[in-house]
């Protein structure tokens, strides 16, 4: 077995250079700039085009996939084909950052050196680590007898329509073995099912003029803005609250409720600013609908409206409400739902329970089933051996998560890294980061894994 820890040292400088340029691409979904060969907007296209350019310069085969993904291929032979699925799109860089979020800023020194930038850990850093791993294998002549396909998607954060098009509209086939570097080490063998939906209701929320907050459905709403007629009693009641900013414009009061961002799979780690607003406004103005939502939705397990479930593998179901709006002219309230559940859940019954309890209409936008991989099969066992061989963390075990990854879209695929225990990267939050030492470790792990999978039987 080649010494990939030693070989990967030669690729650290290139990895940092490529990642620095890649995070500068503001690859947030932008329908206003979408067009032919740019279905997700110019920002995402710029990131995918950059990866295509790098792939071409490294001597890989390149397919732009009509702007849905960038596919890089190399290797030859009758052995297995190895797939790697990472994503180049990112969530919006909302909230208060210590540095410009698309600057690739490096802070700290030595083992504490890290890049603070949107996408640095989710998922551009891991994508670059995988790219360097494949380049290493190609440069060192270690791709004999098997093939590698690295696919960078452009719409993972909104439900993976990129890979749906890749395997559907574009007719691409799956690989013999695959992984996605978009979760945690050592390995994810199970992923919760996910229902993405939109709840709506015609309702008069007077005296509220308007309210809105959140940017994506799969993140906790961390800022919620409410516009109201100027009210001295209201202003006085907010005097001592630190989680609300108050400003005025003429005869209008503008309230900004401040929560805490978190990934939609772990809403308990955040504070939903919209629910703070519902609790306060529902009580202050005696608005029954807002009081009801505050009471029912504050528990992220859904227990308060019988939308909960539990099993030993996935533990509690979770409910997140990421984007909330109220249009006063139409008197329409809307809230996105990101519902994640384990094997014991009945998602249809859970959604019906939500509808009945909240008196809303729920339109299901997409559904992903629960994913469970064979922990003793060749894919999982081989990847675990590579991880343990490279890190010497022999007691780490694969586990299940609430997050959804490309493993649900790609055949024969599991999530494999890239976050190490204790280094979560603060994904979907301000000051997202990746330790440079972790980035470099990933190159060695992925090179070992790809090489090992390539020497399995089909």
Predicted structure pTM score: 0.83
User: E strand or H helix at 446, and its extent?
Assistant: helix 436-454
Same domain, 71 and 149: yes
Q: Cβ–Cβ contacts within 10 Å for residue 110, how many?
A: 7
The rounded distance, in Å, linking the Cα atoms of 172 and 165 is 9
The rounded distance, in Å, linking the Cα atoms of 253 and 250 is 8
If one counts the domains in the chain, the total is 2
Domain boundary among 324, 347, 368: 368
Provide, rounded to the nearest whole percent, the portion of the chain with pLDDT above 70: 100
**pLDDT (tens digit, 9 = 90+) per residue, 137-147?**
999 999 999 99
The rounded distance, in Å, linking the Cα atoms of 433 and 427 is 8
Same domain, 343 and 421: no
Q: Cβ–Cβ contacts within 10 Å for residue 71, how many?
A: 23
Q: Scanning the structure block, which residue is given the tokens 């090179």?
A: 447
Same domain, 27 and 75: yes
Q: What are the pLDDT tens digits along the chain (458 aa)? A: 999 999 999 999 999 999 999 999 999 999 999 999 999 999 999 999 999 999 999 999 999 999 999 999 999 999 999 999 999 999 999 889 999 999 999 999 999 999 999 999 999 999 999 999 999 999 999 999 999 999 999 999 998 999 999 999 999 999 999 999 999 999 999 999 999 999 999 999 999 999 999 988 989 999 999 999 999 999 999 988 999 999 999 999 999 999 999 989 999 999 999 999 999 999 999 999 999 999 999 999 999 999 999 999 999 999 999 999 999 889 999 999 999 999 999 999 999 999 999 999 999 999 999 999 999 999 999 999 999 999 999 999 999 999 889 999 999 999 999 999 999 899 888 999 999 999 999 999 999 999 999 999 88
Same domain, 280 and 402: no
Same domain, 234 and 270: yes
Are 141 and 17 within 8 A, CB to CB? Answer: no
The rounded distance, in Å, linking the Cα atoms of 127 and 121 is 9
CB burial of 258-291 (b: ≥16 within 10 Å; e: otherwise) equals: bbebbbbbbbeebbbbbbbbbbbbbeebebebbb
Same domain, 124 and 62: yes
Establish how many alpha carbons lie within 13 A of residue 143's alpha carbon, considering only the half-sphere containing its beta carbon.
Answer: 18
Q: Which residues pair with 144 in a beta bridge?
A: 76
**The domain spanning residue 138 has which CATH number?**
3.40.630.10
Same domain, 98 and 237: no
* 303 CB-near residues (< 8 Å, 6+ apart): none
**pLDDT (tens digit, 9 = 90+) per residue, 164-174?**
999 999 999 99
Closest CA to 386 of 448, 300, 324, 330: 448
Domain boundary among 368, 400, 421: 368
Range of the domain at 29: 4-191+371-454
Same domain, 178 and 70: yes
Same domain, 296 and 443: no
* 357 CB-near residues (< 8 Å, 6+ apart): 296, 304, 305, 306, 307
The rounded distance, in Å, linking the Cα atoms of 334 and 343 is 29
Same domain, 246 and 161: no
Cis ω before 123 (30° cut-off from 0):
yes
**pLDDT (tens digit, 9 = 90+) per residue, 184-205?**
999 999 999 999 999 999 999 9
**The domain spanning residue 310 has which CATH number?**
3.30.70.360
Signed CA dihedral, 101, 107, 111, 112: sign only? negative
- What is the radius of gyration, based on Cα positions, of the chain? 23
Same domain, 115 and 159: yes
Same domain, 326 and 337: yes
Domain boundary among 318, 334, 368: 368
């Amino acid at each position: 077995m080649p010494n990939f820890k030693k070989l990967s040292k030669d690729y650290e400088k290139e990895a940092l250079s490529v990642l620095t340029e890649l995070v500068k691409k503001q690859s947030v979904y932008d329908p206003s700039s979408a067009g032919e060969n740019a279905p997700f907007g110019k920002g995402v296209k710029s990131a995918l085009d950059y990866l295509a350019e790098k792939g071409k310069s490294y001597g890989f085969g390149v397919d732009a996939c009509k702007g849905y993904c960038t596919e890089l291929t190399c290797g030859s032979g009758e052995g297995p084909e190895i797939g790697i699925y990472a994503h180049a799109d990112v969530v919006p860089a909302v909230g208060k950052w210590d540095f410009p979020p698309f600057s690739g800023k490096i802070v700290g020194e030595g083992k504490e050196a890290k890049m603070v930038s949107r996408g640095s850990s989710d998922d551009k850093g891991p994508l670059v680590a995988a790219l360097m791993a494949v380049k290493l294998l190609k440069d060192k002549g270690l791709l004999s007898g098997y093939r590698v396909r690295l696919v960078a998607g452009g719409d993972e954060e909104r439900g993976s329509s990129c890979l749906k098009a890749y395997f559907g509209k574009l007719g691409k086939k799956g690989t013999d073995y695959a992984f996605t570097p978009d979760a945690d080490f050592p390995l994810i063998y199970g992923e919760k099912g996910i229902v993405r939906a939109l709840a709506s209701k015609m309702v008069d929320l007077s005296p509220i003029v308007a309210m809105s907050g959140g940017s994506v459905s799969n993140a906790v709403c961390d800022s919620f803005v409410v516009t109201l007629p100027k009210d001295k009693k209201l202003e006085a009641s907010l005097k001592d609250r630190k989680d609300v900013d108050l400003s005025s414009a003429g005869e209008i009061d503008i309230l900004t409720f401040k929560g805490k961002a978190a990934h939609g799979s772990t809403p308990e780690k955040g504070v939903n600013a919209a629910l703070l607003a519902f609790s306060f406004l529902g009580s202050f103005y005696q608005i029954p609908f807002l009081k009801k939502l505050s009471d029912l939705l504050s528990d992220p397990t859904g227990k308060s409206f019988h939308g909960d479930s539990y099993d030993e593998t996935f533990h509690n179901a979770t409910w997140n409400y990421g984007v909330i709006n109220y249009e006063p002219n139409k008197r329409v309230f809307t809230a996105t739902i990101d519902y994640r559940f384990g094997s014991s859940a009945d998602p249809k019954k859970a959604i019906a329970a939500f509808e009945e309890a909240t008196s809303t209409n729920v339109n299901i936008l997409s559904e992903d089933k629960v994913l469970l991989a064979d922990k003793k099969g060749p894919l999982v066992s081989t990847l675990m051996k590579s991880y343990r061989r490279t890190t010497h963390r022999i007691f780490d075990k694969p586990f299940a998560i609430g997050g959804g990854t490309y493993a649900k879209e790609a055949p024969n695929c599991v999530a494999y890294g890239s976050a190490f225990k204790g280094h979560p990267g603060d994904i979907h939050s301000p000051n997202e980061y990746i330790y440079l030492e972790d980035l470099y470790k990933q190159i060695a792990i992925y090179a070992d894994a790809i090489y090992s999978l390539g020497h399995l039987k089909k």
